[in-house]
Chain A
Amino acid sequence: MGDRPLSSILPAPNLPELPELPAQVLQDIFRHLCHHPMAIGPHHSFNPRWISVTHVCRRWRKAALDNPCLWVHLPIQSEPLTQMMLERSRSEAVFVEFHTEDRGVDDNLVLRLAALVTRARSFCVTASISFLSALIGQPRFSCSAPHLRTLELLPLEDMPSGTSPSQLLSRLDSGDGEEDTLTSDMRNLNLVKHPPMVAMLNFFKTNRGGIECLKLGFLDSSPFLALPSSPIRHMFLPYLKQMHLDSSYRVCHNILSQVIVPPSTELKLRLRGVQDLVLFSEIVALRFGRAKTFTNLPLESITCSLTPTGETIWSFIGYPPMAIMPASGGVQMVASVYSKTAGETWHLALSELSRSVGLENVNSMNIYMHAAWTKDQHTLLTSVLQTIPKLRRLAIDTDSLPGLDVDMAALALHIPQLHILEFVGIVDESQVEAKKHELELQYTAMARARTKAGMSTFSCRWRPRGGWEVIVLTENLDTDAPPLQLPNQSSQLTSLPDSVASHYAQQRCKFLLELHKFWAAGKTPLPTALTGFRYPEGYPHQPSWPHVKPIAIGVVRLGDTLNIDLFQLFTVVRAHGGGLKVSKIHGHDHAVQCSCSRH
């Protein structure tokens, strides 16, 4: 076929009248209609207007009613409509999404919501604390919820410690199922504003490791800290994609000490009150398979923000493995510092970073200045920046506050490695030209001074606020500058002592996936608790392996004491010649051969 599509060459024939669409196709169309076109995720997107398709004709109506999956998003505001959709969704798990700004508590509404937990796959409620407390207080809310995969209970206000929602998950878990607790198969958990203790501990005690998104935020960490040092068992979360923690340094430290997650997990930590960055980095590195590398992290980008908030917050935002983003300069780490002591703390923070993680590969830096700096602090800043050998771009946001003028000449002349100096700020449209003119004058003076001092070319930009946080690492910063140095990935990886552990974890995960697929294809799927993979739809919840006792992902218990890690067993068998040889020696039937040779 040539470059030109055939359909553009051939003449359009006279087509007969419109074809009648099969029911399955109609259902596909309706599935798209159910959601708002711009919605990205499965939640927050239901569009109840689609129901009007059932009034078009009998075929359309039948097609819509025949597919219970189309009726699973419940419009809670309308009781008759909710009831109707519950009936039409038949036995399908439903999606409950409710948001109210109303501070009062409607008892009838609370009752209706609480009754839906047993059927919910996703249960997301945003309401006042009093509403949520009433909801959680409902006896019907504490029953088992076998389908629940996403739970979001977000209070409109910050939750004071000791309020009843802290017992949320313990109530939910106290349902009739002894093993199938509500959180055991949870995929997404978002309890961002809840106090920590019971909710978090219950989650860690009961979840079988299938969770993909974990967001926990705690305002009060004192109950957690009063616990023994290791309140949570070690937990392997092989499918985790996102982990957001917002809590005190100690709480985050404790959680990270207990979980084992894939290296590609997006990690967002908001640590309140960092005490020991080195210790923190070790903990993160330990859990993310980079025990030694974190201190040698090829840090290329760092955002330092200063605001007079009175607290120090470090934010490390996601650093996926280098293999994933080699084109954008490898591992990216963004750090933010807020402090009312501005320059001094900034200087200390940068020194600490320099000591613990190394700034030798940083070539681009953003600095927020939201508080006045003294001249001494300017000098401190310049002296620290001087020590970053590859720093080629520096962007400064002075927030356009009066008195925050930066000593540009000092920056330009005392940091010879700098190639680009950017200023970011908010300026009235009428003053943009004046600002540019002012900068041009300063730049001319600086460029002349640099040339006189024998320094390389230098550019200076001013841009209005916006898109600040986006750091493009591959941007060609300056044509005269050497290209951005990418981290040497191969040497980096081979130097990782934990790379073997990471590889082992990946192989183990792959093995369990294959095992899951193999037995699912044979119509006898293994329990989710064993493989960590979702139980296939269409099978009864109780699997066909009643005697298998998984005690962790990939580990079964034989008898009372013997724990067998299936992947270890597999590697041992394979190392000794595979299933074929084992069968030959011991005269087993060919089942061992099949399952082993397949993997």
Chain B
Amino acid sequence: MPTIVSVDDSTVPGEGSSRLLLLVSSDNKHIVVEEDIMSRSRFISKQVEGFEATSQRHAILLPFSSFVLNKVIEYCSHYRGYYLLEDDPDAAPPGRSPVREWDQEFLDVDRNMLLRIIKAAHYLEIKSLVGSCARAIADMIRGKTTEEMREILGVENDFTPEEEHSPSSKCTG
């Protein structure tokens, strides 16, 4: 759970038509963003519901850097007001995320950044972004050997030599 700190109402105007949220990244950058933009995040929505229950607005501390957070905000801003099936909690989730051209350009980033974005999207519960990142990562490792996959995603082989050569793990998958 994130740490929540109380904020002065003068810092974050919480009433009126343009309600704002204060997001604080792990590198202690304060980012003010319209609540409407971040409504795609189930996590943020739940936090806001909590604010409404207690009639107090807070800053939301998030466990990732401002660089990653800004990227997520850029995604949410782009799809502001759009209906995306994957983000509808009432809709049956699609098996695979649809290909969206803008997402492909948006996620044309280096591997480290992509992994950080998907982790942040998972934390913020933005399913559409998780899906698009998952598709991008899958494309990176599709058709690669296990060794290449480890190298691409920085994963360490922690199988014992016995496990690695056992029929249950090697021959049949």
**Residues of A near any B CB (own CB < 8 A):** 1, 5-7, 10, 12-13, 15, 17-19, 21-22, 24-25, 28-33, 35, 37, 42, 49, 51-61, 80-81, 84, 517
Contact = CB atoms under 8 A, between A and B. Distances in A.
12 contacts: A12-B67, A15-B67, A15-B113, A18-B153, A21-B153, A29-B134, A31-B96, A33-B141, A33-B142, A60-B155, A84-B172, A517-B90
A84 B173 contact: yes
Contacts of A42: 95
A22 B137 contact: no
A51 B173 contact: yes
B112 A18 contact: yes
B119 A7 contact: no
Most chain A CB atoms below 10 A, which of B113, B134, B164: B134
A29 B116 contact: no
Interface string B110-152: 0111011011001000000011001101110111011001100
Contacts of A84: 172-173
A149 to B, nearest CB: 13
A22 B134 contact: no
B90, B96, B135: most-surrounded residue (chain A CB, <10 A): B96
B119 to A, nearest CB: 5
A17 B27 CA distance: 16
Which one of A18, A37, A55, A60 has the greatest number of beta carbons of chain B within 10 Å? A55
B104 to A, nearest CB: 12
A59 B139 CA distance: 20
B39 interface: no
Contact of B159 (A30, A52, A57, A80): A57
A32 B155 CA distance: 19
Contact of A25 (B113, B130, B139): B130
A84 B141 CA distance: 24
Given A13-B67, A25-B122, A55-B170, A35 B96 contact: yes
Given A10-B70, A54-B169, A56-B146, A19 B134 contact: no
A481 to B, nearest CB: 35
Contact of B146 (A37, A55, A58): A55
A421 B13 CA distance: 66
A173 B64 CA distance: 57
B157 interface: yes
Given A6-B70, A6-B74, A22-B119, A61 B143 contact: no
B156 A57 contact: yes
B77 interface: yes
Given A15-B113, A33-B141, A25 B119 contact: yes
Contacts of A53: 141, 146, 149
B65 interface: yes
A218 to B, nearest CB: 33
A30 B131 CA distance: 11
A57 B143 CA distance: 17
Contacts of A81: 172-173
Closest 9 CB pairs of A and B: A32-B138, A18-B154, A51-B173, A28-B134, A6-B70, A5-B74, A55-B146, A84-B172, A29-B134
Contacts of A54: 169, 173
B172 to A, nearest CB: 5
Contacts of B146: 52-53, 55-56
Interface string B59-70: 000000111001
B169 A55 contact: yes
A61 B159 CA distance: 10
Chain B at the A interface: SS class: helix
Contacts of B71: 7
B48 interface: no
B122 A19 contact: no
B73 interface: yes
B158 interface: yes
A49 B112 CA distance: 25
Nearest to B157: A57
Contacts of A61: 169
Contacts of A32: 96-97, 134-135, 137-139
Contacts of A31: 95-96, 134
B134 A25 contact: yes
Nearest to B116: A19
Interface in B1-41: 27
A100 B158 CA distance: 40
Contacts of A49: 143
Contacts of A18: 111-112, 115, 153-154
Contacts of A28: 130-131, 134
A21 B130 contact: no
A15 B116 contact: yes
A17 to B, nearest CB: 7
A29 B170 CA distance: 21
Contacts of A5: 70, 74
A80 B145 contact: no
A53 to B, nearest CB: 7
A92 to B, nearest CB: 13
Contacts of A58: 158-159
A10 B65 CA distance: 12
A80 B173 CA distance: 11
Contacts of A21: 115, 118-119, 153
Contacts of B131: 28
Given A28-B131, A28-B134, A81-B172, A37 B158 contact: no
B32 to A, nearest CB: 10
Contacts of A55: 146, 159, 164, 169-170, 173
Given A13-B27, A31-B95, A52-B145, 8 more contacts: A12-B113, A28-B130, A28-B134, A29-B137, A55-B169, A56-B150, A59-B155, A84-B172
A470 B27 CA distance: 56
A56 B157 CA distance: 6
A33 to B, nearest CB: 5
Nearest to A55: B146
Nearest to B146: A55
Contacts of B172: 80-81, 84
Nearest to A32: B138
A22 B95 CA distance: 19
Q: Point out which of B138, B146, B155 has the most chain A C-beta atoms below 10 A from its C-beta.
A: B138
Interface string B157-170: 11100001000011
Nearest to A54: B173
A240 B79 CA distance: 31
